Structures are given as structure tokens and as C-alpha cells.
Structure 1
Amino acid sequence: MSKVVLLYGSSEGQTEKIIQNISEKLNEFGHKTDVYDLKNSKIKIDLSGYDGAIVGASIHVGKHQKYVVNYVDRNVERLNQIPTAFFTVNLTAHDKSEEAKQNVDKMIEEFLTLTKLEPEMTKAFPGALKFSRYGFIKRLFMKIISKKLTDGDTSEDIEFTDWVEVDEFAKKYSELLYT
């Protein structure tokens, strides 16, 4: 059994939902997990007691949350000493075109370059359109940029996350801890 810290940043809650799912799966596989929302900067997390780490962040306006980038950058030495995985959550990951894949890879590479994180695993998960959480302006903006993904209806939230992929990510990471 390994002790794993799960660190994340979430704007509308989808990254949090994904990290909670990963935590549950890792617990099922026999690991102990602690989950921390990095938005709460008052939390002091001692990484020395962990055997592994997973970092998750979402993309908004082309960038990951600055507070996640800053936390990883400040703690990268320890994170690079233990098996670490990184995942990003964004709508581009829903698009299976080669151009979209290249854009997602570029976003991941930018995060890794900024933080100097050297994870054993990376993954991009499609996020969600959380229209119920958007104000008027953001709802209008998201309606315009998501035309390819929706029929224009903003009355209900739309989730694109593939939960089988999330479970497979957790399983692969669990297996990494046993090697």
C-alpha cells in the first residue's frame, strides 16, 4: 500500500470531480489518498510523507490555474523524487483531430516546462460545460466557443469526461506504484 497525495485546481468543479474519482479508485486498489484543492493557499502540505503524487489542473483561456503552476514549481524537487502523474482537463481534449491533439500536447508541455515537473504519466481529459455555474457573460462566451460541441442549448450542463479513461488512468498509476 502506498500513500498518495492528489493535488488539483478546479474552476467549475470538473477537475475536482475527476480527482475524487481517481482517489476512490486508488483507495479500491489498496492505496491511501489525501486530496487537496490548491486554491486554498493556507493549507500547508508536507509532501515528505507521500509515496506518490497526482496533479490535476484545468485549462481556462489557454492556461492552467496559476496557483497550481506556482505550487508545483515551489515543490517540484520533491514531486520529481516520487512517482508523479499530471493530468489536464479541457474541452480541446474532446476533439479527436490531430490538430486538437497537438494543441493539448502543447498545453501539457507548457505546464511541464513552466514547473520543471517530470511526471511518469500525463493525460488530458475532456472536461464539461457547466452552464449552470456561468454568469451571463461567460455563458454567452462559452456558447459561442462551444458551437462545435453543442447544439447551442445552454439550459443544461454537458459533461464530456470519459470515466472509463479516468478509471484506466487510476489503474495505470496504481500499477506504477507497485513497480
Structure 2
Amino acid sequence: MSKILIIYSSVHGQTRKVTDYLKQQLESYGNEVTCASIDEAPALDVFDKVVIGASIRHGKHNPAVYDFISRNINQLSDKVSSFFSVSLVARKPAKNTPETNPYMQAFLAKTTWKPKLLAVFGGNLDYQGYNAVDRNIIRFIMWITKGPTAADTKVEYTDWDKVSQYAQQLHQL
């Protein structure tokens, strides 16, 4: 059994949903799991493993994720750690692995942290759940990338079996 901290940065809630699912899966293996938003993360010293999950908004991870990593780089480097990214780009088979996802690659290039395990998950597309600015930006991006643009579109691209496999890998670290 491990004491695991999952820190998340979520804009529209899908990364939080993935975090809650991971918590449930990891607890089923007998782990003690604490979840916290990036802005409310507790001290890392009492945890055996630290997981950070972040969504993409307008092509970038939240700057608070990089700030948190910079402030805690020594502890993150000394512990078993992992990072996962949630984005609509990951809905595409050619961009749904850490090696092929451009946002994961940009993340890795921007930080000195080297997590032991990486994962990429598809996000949730819900135009009605966005404000007008986000809805228009996302629809434009989806139009460019040949994704759905109908204003009533609501599609969850998260592969929950893949999230379960990731939880098992985390448990085994």
C-alpha cells in the first residue's frame, strides 16, 4: 500500500473526473489516495507517490502547473512520480500517446522534471458547457482539425480502459 497524492489542474472538469476515477481505481488496490487542485496541494513529504494531471486550454497547460513543479522539483525528483495530460487532441489515434502527443512533448521540453510514468487521455467536448469565447475558439480549432463543430456537440473522448491501465501501472511503480 502506498500513500498517493494526485494533484490536478482542470478547466472544464474532465481532468478532475479522471483524477476521481484514478482515486477510485488506486484505492481498490489498497492505496491511500488524496486528491487536491494545483492551488490547494498539500506538502509532498508525507506521500510515497505524486501524480500531477493537467488539462490543455487554448493549446497550453496551466502556468500554475509549471510553477508548482519548479517549487517542488527536488521532492518530485526524489519520489515516484507521474504526469498525465488531458486534451481534445488526444482523441486522435496518432496523438494519444506521450510520444506522439504534441502537448506532452511541449510539456517535457519546458520542464526539468522527469516523471517515471506519463499518460495522455482524450478530453470532453461540450460546447454548451463553455462560455461564448471558449466555445468559438474550440469550434474554430475543431473546424481546422476536422473535428465536430455542431453547437450541440457533447462527446467524451476519455478512454476509461486506458485510465484503468494507467492506474494499474501507477500502483505497480
Instruction: Please say whether Structure 1 and Structure 2 have the same fold, judged by a TM-score greater than 0.5.
Output: yes
How many pairs are equivalent? 171
Task: Indicate which of 135, 143, 147 corresponds to 1:139.
Answer: 135
Q: Deviations over 1:37-58 (max 9, x none)?
A: 11x3xx3611110000111011
C-alpha separation in 1, matches of 2:26 and 2:168: 7
Secondary structure, counterpart of 2:55 in structure 1:
strand
Structure 1 segment 22-171 matched on structure 2, within 5 A? 22-38=22-38, 40=39, 43=40, 45-97=42-94, 104=101, 106-147=102-143, 148-150=146-148, 152-171=149-168
Quote the RMSD (CA, aligned, Å): 2.0
Secondary structure, counterpart of 2:68 in structure 1:
helix
Query: How high is the sequence identity, in percent, across the aligned residues?
Result: 28
Check conservation: 2:11, 2:55, Cα contact below 8 A.
yes
C-alpha separation in 1, matches of 2:98 and 2:106: 14
Secondary structure, counterpart of 2:82 in structure 1:
strand
Query: Which consecutive aligned stretches of 4+ in structure 1 deviate over 3 angstroms post-superposition?
Result: 100-103
TM-score by length of 2: 0.90
The one-letter amino acid paired with 2:156 is E
TM-score by length of 1: 0.87
C-alpha separation in 2, matches of 1:62 and 1:138: 12
Deviation at 1:133, TM superposition (A): 2.2
Deviation at 1:74, TM superposition (A): 0.7
Q: Deviations over 1:113-157 (max 9, x none)?
A: 43321111101111111323212232122222213222x322242
Deviation at 1:102, TM superposition (A): 6.1
Check conservation: 1:4, 1:52, Cα contact below 8 A.
yes
Secondary structure, counterpart of 2:72 in structure 1:
helix
Q: Unaligned stretches of 5+ in structure 1?
A: none
The one-letter amino acid paired with 1:92 is V
Deviation at 1:101, TM superposition (A): 7.4
- Residue of structure 2 in register with 1:2 after alignment: 2
Secondary structure, counterpart of 2:162 in structure 1:
helix
Q: Unaligned stretches of 5+ in structure 2?
A: none
Deviation at 1:96, TM superposition (A): 1.8
C-alpha separation in 1, matches of 2:61 and 2:128: 22
C-alpha separation in 1, matches of 2:41 and 2:19: 19
Deviation at 1:103, TM superposition (A): 5.7
C-alpha separation in 2, matches of 1:130 and 1:45: 31
